[in-house]
Chains A and B, each alone.
Chain A
Amino acid sequence: MTRTVLPATQPGPAADLPGRRRPRMRLGRWSAPLGIVGAVVVLLWLVVAVVAPFVVPHDPLAQDLPRLQAPGSGTIFGTDALGRDVFSRVLSGATVTIPLALLLVVMSVLIGAVLGAASGFFGRWVDELVMRVTDLVMAFPTVILAMVIAAALGASLLNAVLAALIVSWPSYARLTRGLVLGLRTSNYVVSVKLLGFSSWRLLLRDIAPNVVGPILVLASLDIGTAILLLSGLSFLGLGAKPPTAEWGSMVSDAVQNFDSWWLGLFPGLAILTIVIAFNFVGDALRDALDPKSVTVRGGGATL
């Protein structure tokens, strides 16, 4: 991990150049502690996501409690307009959202990395095709395109993931392409090629290890974005369908019952804590790997 990072702006095998310092784990005075705090919170939420179905005090879908009860009287976070326990629903939300967000990021990385690598490695029409498609996707702000696609596919959580996937792979394709393009002409890759090894060996053994670092950083920062995007789509009514205990749709329930502040506050805090935790981790990771390899998602997802 420490060796493999290249600044995204100028791909080149920095580690190979004599006299140039290899990037080391540089832990900033604050970014490391923040990263640790983030990792702990992430871990806590992952545990919640796994155990929530077994430990929640009430069935998150059962409508058997008094309606719109404020927190305190018998329930921790109160009850919603249908008499469901908000605390149980917030915990169950982790089980709904976190696996989907992780799946989304893994899929975007895979699709983006494969297409980006093909684009950078083979060039010509492959490159042209892939890059024009990324241009097209990135011509829209992310949330807007995801919204449009999700609306066209019909409201469901899986369609929301699909829509989010369509808008999120291009940033990985761009990043991978840029890195591969730089590496392809670097001396060590050219020498391996001259030795007569196959393209596949080149890609997998010589190029891939140098591409993994930056992609990991981007992916770690992207998990938060993925959670925001999915919950935002659900907030718009384009993701999870009722009665699913999903954070974004819980917040949108709160819009209808405005004076019951607990309906929206807690699911929102859940989103905020997990997203900020993932971002702390990603930020620390980026600092540790290379302070300069900053990459910002195209289109930017405001959620």
Chain B
Amino acid sequence: MTRTAGDTGTTAGPRRNMRRGPARVRGTGHPFARYVLRRVVTSLLLLVGVTLVTFVLTNLVPGDPVAASLGQRAAEDPAIVAQFRAEYGLDKPLVVQYVTYLGNLLHGNLGTSTTTHNAVSSDLAAAVPATLEIALGAIVLSVLIGVLFGTLAAYRRGKTTDHVLRVVSLAGLSVPTFWLALVLYYAFYFQLHIAPGSGRLSSDFNVPPTITGLYTVDALLAGQLDTFLDALSHLFLPVLVLTLYTVGLLTRFVRTAVLEILDQDYVRAARAKGLPTRTVVRAYVLRGASVPILTVVGLAFGSLLSGTVLVESVFSWPGIGSYAYQSASHLDLPGVMGVGLVIGATYLLVNLVVDILYGVIDPRVRLA
């Protein structure tokens, strides 16, 4: 699912097809539908794998959940321990425990946080829209900037623009985001008073009526322009920090992809016959590079989700990142596993969408 540049096609492609025989002979139905179905099944299997990972980590780790949940004195009393184990099903075989765990997950039960004492699922439900708001902002911005920078660097290969962009993207990849967040917050809020303080809204604004959970969208829907602007200004710094890293990643990758396409005969032909550069870039180059670019957008989304964990805590942004920070620093396992599960599932979904889009963009993928 997750891929490195080197193995986009090579890992799953030829060998698997050889084993299964030509797909066209076997199947019924539309080849694209079959392609989608296969991807969905793979993703579901991986999703089960993801739950297995979180289950194993919650249950088989050195730390004893009994000792962690009961006090020292209670843990020394065998009767209380036995009752506790029976109550939480800890005396059952692991397979049974896993099935129970899966059943709980299907009912949306992710356990109870030992920090907030709320159900992890309700904590996360409150946090997800906040994270979504910065993640969407950052991914849109970084794709726009990254594709622009990458294409520019490829076109100006070896020239000053290319080198400057190389340094910029390497710098973006090298900055610790949690630190950058702190520095920008200090500079723009604390010293220059340009950016607003932490959180999603200034204290003199009310939360707009919840429709999507995204404050900017909700404010617009409610027609509260000033609330919208305030929410937008609060978005600025977190989105900026996340964008900087992702732009670094995308620029490098888009550059390589575009360079490869520029080398193709059909692009050379298009340029030779005198088409304007703009047309060549849009209709030939970016179209040809769209599959690798899509790959890295999927990857970038993963790094973005990781980034939010480190950035949100600095801006007191009440998203899953802050929640992860809070539960990780209190060693609140249900909380941490809940975050892992939600982010793992989101990442799988993004990669599934990316895979399906491959099929849409490139017919060779779905017919293979």
CA distance A14 to B296 in the complex (A): 27
Contact across chains for A144 and B306 when beta carbons are under 8 A apart: yes
9 nearest A-B residue pairs (beta carbon)? A300-B303, A8-B6, A268-B179, A143-B306, A302-B307, A138-B2, A276-B174, A141-B302, A237-B329
Give 7 A-B pairs besides A9-B10, A140-B343, A279-B170 with Cβ atoms closer than 8 angstroms. A154-B63, A181-B10, A236-B309, A272-B174, A280-B170, A298-B302, A299-B306
CA distance A143 to B340 in the complex (A): 10
Contact across chains for A255 and B344 when beta carbons are under 8 A apart: no
Query: What are 10 pairs between A and B in contact, CB < 8 Å?
Result: A141-B344, A145-B53, A145-B344, A147-B339, A174-B4, A178-B7, A236-B325, A236-B328, A248-B176, A303-B176
We find that the number of chain A residues with CB closer than 8 angstroms to chain B is: 72
From A15-23, A44-52, A61-69, A257-265, the one touching the partner chain is: A257-265
What is the predominant secondary structure among interface residues of chain A facing chain B? helix
Contact across chains for A140 and B329 when beta carbons are under 8 A apart: no
Contact across chains for A30 and B166 when beta carbons are under 8 A apart: yes
What is the predominant secondary structure among interface residues of chain B facing chain A? helix
List, in ascending order, chain B residues with CB within 8 A of A75's CB. none
Contact across chains for B1 and A139 when beta carbons are under 8 A apart: yes
Task: Give, as a whole number of angstroms, the nearest-CB distance from B361 to chain A.
Answer: 19
List, in ascending order, chain A residues with CB within 8 A of B175's CB. 272, 275
The answer, yes or no, to whether A103 is at the interface (CB within 8 Å) is no
Contact across chains for B333 and A152 when beta carbons are under 8 A apart: yes
We find that the number of chain B residues with CB closer than 8 angstroms to chain A is: 75
User: Which residues on A are within 8 Å of B, measured CB to CB?
Assistant: 8-9, 28-31, 34, 131, 135-136, 138-145, 147-155, 171, 174-175, 178, 181-182, 224, 228, 231-232, 235-238, 248, 251-252, 254-255, 258-259, 261, 264-265, 267-268, 271-272, 275-276, 279-280, 283, 292-303
Contact across chains for A135 and B49 when beta carbons are under 8 A apart: yes
Contact across chains for A147 and B58 when beta carbons are under 8 A apart: no
Contact across chains for B347 and A294 when beta carbons are under 8 A apart: no
Q: Which of B6, B10, B252, B339 has the most chain A CB atoms closer than 10 A to its own CB? A: B6
Which chain B residue shows the least CB distance to A138? B2
Contact across chains for B46 and A135 when beta carbons are under 8 A apart: yes
Other-chain contact of B166, A140, A252, A283, A300 (Cβ < 8 Å): A283
Contact across chains for B304 and A151 when beta carbons are under 8 A apart: no
Contact across chains for A144 and B309 when beta carbons are under 8 A apart: yes
Task: Give, as a whole number of angstroms, the nearest-CB distance from A117 to chain B.
Answer: 15
CA distance A9 to B57 in the complex (A): 35
List, in ascending order, chain A residues with CB within 8 A of B186's CB. 258, 261, 264
